[in-house]
Chains A and B, each alone.
Chain A
Amino acid sequence: MTGSERPVGAISAWILWLLAAALGAQIAWQAARRPAAPAAADLPAPPTPPTLRVASLGEPAALARLAMVWLLAFDSQGDNDVPFQRLDYLRLSAWLRAILAIDPRSGYPLFAAARVYAENPDPAKARLMLEFIHEEFSAAPKQRWPALAHAALLAKHRLRDLPLARSFAAAIARRATDETVPLWARQMEVFILEDMNELEAAKVLLGGLLATGRIRDPEERRFLEGRLKDLKSRLQTPHSPGIR
C-alpha cells in the first residue's frame, strides 16, 4: 500500500462483494466454456503466397513459423483417436506449399510433412505428403534431402512401396551431390535395389559410387567393397532377400 491509497477498510462493503462475485462468475463462466479444437473440416483454403507475404508486413520468416504452429493445431485433439487423420490433405499440402513459398529456407514445413503428416495411417494421405516432399525437394536438394530421406524410409517400411522409396533415394543420389550430404543418404538407393532384388542395378550403382573416389573413409570403403563382393556372389547364386 502506498501513501496515495486509502485502506481497503475505507471501501464500501458492497464494492468488495461485487468484485468477488464478478470474479467468481467470470471464472465459473469461462471454466464452463472451454474452446474446442478447430475441426478438420474447418481448415480453410490457403491464401496465395503474395497475399501471405503482404500479411507478414515484411516479416515472412516469422509469419511462416507462426503459420506452421497454427496449422499443426488443426484436427489435433477432440474426438480424434489419431491426430490429423481427418484433415483434408490436399488443402494441407497447399498450405505447406504456400508457407514454404514465403520462406523457402525454412525447414519447418518439410519437417512437419515428413515427421508428422506423412505418419498418417491412411496410405493415400501419407502418399500425398510424400509426393509433396518429393516435389519440393528439387527446389533445394542440399537443404531438403533429410525430409526426402525420411520419406524414402516411410515409403519402404510403412507403405511397403519399394519403387517409390527407390525413386526418392535415386533423387537424393542424383540431386543432393553436395559434400555436406552424408554418404548413407546417397547410398540408400543401392540398399533399396537390393531389397527389390535388383542386384545387377545395385552392383552397378555401388561400383560407380566406389569408382568416384568420394568415399575416403577407409572403414566405410572396406564395408562397401565387402558389400559389392557379396552382391557379385549373390548374382552368381540368386535368391530373394525380402524386405529389410
Chain B
Amino acid sequence: MRRPAITVAYYVLIEALRSGLPWLAAACMVAVLGLAGFLSQVAITEGAALQASVAGSLLRAAAVFLIAAHVVASVAREANDKGLELALALPISRPVYYVGKLFGFACTGALLASLFALPLLAWAKPADLIAWWLSLAAETALVAAAALFFASAMAQTLPAIAAAAGLYLLARAVPSMQAIAAGPLAEESLPGRAARWTVDALALLLPRLDSVAQSEWLLYGAPPAMELAHALLGLALYFLLLVAAGLFDFSRRNL
C-alpha cells in the first residue's frame, strides 16, 4: 500500500519539475532579491537587516502563492485530462491516491522552501535559517493540503485559489483580530459580544500561521526549540485535519 503512494508522489514531483514552476520560482527569487537590494541601497541604516527582512517576508509570500496556484492548476489539469479516472482505474485506493498526491505536493513545497532559503544564508545565521526553512516547509505543506482540498471539492480554479488564499490570510490575521475584539473599547452590547464570540470560534478552526516563518527570526534569532516545536505541532495538527477533510470529500465523490 505504501509503494503506490510513493509512486504517485514521485510523478507529482516530476510534473512540478517539468512545469513552469521552477522558472516562476527562479523569477520570484530574482525579483525579490533585486527589490531587497534596491531598498538596502536607499536605506540610510540597517541595510542588511532591511534586505533580510524584506527578502524573507516576500519569499515566504511567494512560496505560499506559488504552491497554492500550482496545486490548484495541477488538480484542474488532471480533471480536464480525465487523468483521475485513469489513475483510479488502476489497483489503487482513493485514500492512497489522495495521500500520494498530497505527499508529492508537500515535497514540492519543501523544495520551494529550500530554494528560497538558500540566498538568505547571506544575511542570517545557519541555525536561525534552518528554523525559518523548516517552518516555511511546514507552512507550504499545509497550504498545499488546503489547496488540494479546495481544488478537489470545488473543481474550479478561481474559487479554489480564492478559498485557499482566504484561509491563509484569515489564519495570519485572526490573532490580531482577537486582540482587537477583546480590547477595552469593545462594546459590551449583544452584537459586540457576538462579534467577539465569532472571532474566538473562528480562531479555534484556524492554524496559527502568524507564529511560524517570521522574517524577524532571520534578524534576531530563531525562537527557542520548544516554542518552535509547539508552533510546528500546531501546523501538523491542522495538516492532519485538512488531510482528513480531503479524504472525506474525495471518498464521497462519484467518479
Q: Are A19 and B183 in contact (CB under 8 A)?
A: no
Which residues of A sit under 8 angstroms from B205, Cβ to Cβ? 26-27, 30
In this complex, the interface size class of chain A, counting residues with CB under 8 Å from chain B, is 35 or more
User: Does A25 have its Cβ within 8 Å of any Cβ on chain B?
Assistant: yes
Instruction: State the CA gap A3–B255 with chains docked (Å).
Output: 11
Point out the residues of chain A lying under 8 angstroms from B238, CB to CB.
26
Roughly how many angstroms separate A69 CA and B195 CA in the complex, as a whole number? 15
* B240 CB within 8 Å of chain A: yes
Chain B 162-200: CB-based contact to A (< 8 A → 1; otherwise 0) = 000000000000011011101111000000000000000
How far apart are the CA atoms of A31 and B183 in the complex, in Å? 19
Beyond A38-B179, A76-B184, whether A30 also contacts B206 by CB under 8 A is yes
Q: Is B95 an interface residue (CB 8 A)?
A: yes
Does A35 lie within 8 Å of B175, measured CB to CB? yes
Verify if B203 is at the interface (C-beta below 8 Å from A): yes
Are the C-beta atoms of B237 and A73 separated by less than 8 Å? no
- Partner of A116 from B185, B240, B241 at Cβ < 8 Å: B185
Report the bound CA distance from A25 to B203 in whole Å: 14
- Residues 3-45 of chain B: 1 if any A CB is under 8 Å from the residue's CB, otherwise 0? 0000000000000000000000000000000000000000000
Q: How far is A37 from B243 in the complex, measured between Cα atoms in Å?
A: 32
Find out whether the CB atom of B184 lies under 8 angstroms from the CB atom of A15: no
- Taking a contact as CB atoms under 8 Å apart, the answer to whether A12 and B95 are in contact is yes
Q: What is the number of residues of chain B that contact chain A, defined by CB distance less than 8 Å?
A: 32
- Residue of B with least CB distance to A19: B244
| A243 located at the interface, meaning its Cβ lies under 8 Å from any Cβ of chain B in the complex | no
Contact with B along A144-174 (1 / 0, CB 8 A): 0000000000000000000000000000000
With A and B bound together, what is the CA distance between A6 and B206 in angstroms? Answer: 28
Q: List chain B residues, Cβ under 8 A from A15.
A: 95, 244, 247-248, 251
A26 touches B237 (CB 8 A): yes
CA distance A73 to B185 in the complex (A): 9
Alpha-carbon separation in the docked complex, A73 to B175 (Å): 12
Is A11 close to B, CB under 8 A? yes
A-side contacts of B180, CB under 8 Å: 69-70, 72-73
A71 to B251, CA, bound (A): 47
| Bound-complex Cα distance A84 to B253 (A) | 54
Asked if A22 contacts B237 (CB within 8 A), the reply is yes
Given A11-B252, A37-B179; A30-B208 close (CB under 8 Å): yes
Question: Could you tell me if A77 and B183 are in contact, using CB atoms closer than 8 angstroms?
Answer: yes
B47 contacts chain A at the CB level, 8 A cutoff: no
Interface mask (A1-45 → B, CB under 8 Å = 1, otherwise 0) = 001111110111001101101110111011101110110000000
Does A46 count as interface, using CB distance less than 8 angstroms?
no
A positions within 8 Å CB-CB of B:
3-8, 10-12, 15-16, 18-19, 21-23, 25-27, 29-31, 33-35, 37-38, 69-70, 72-73, 76-77, 83, 116
Q: List 17 A-B contacts (CB under 8 A).
A: A4-B254, A6-B251, A10-B252, A12-B95, A18-B247, A22-B241, A22-B245, A25-B241, A26-B238, A30-B205, A31-B204, A35-B175, A37-B182, A69-B180, A70-B176, A72-B185, A73-B176
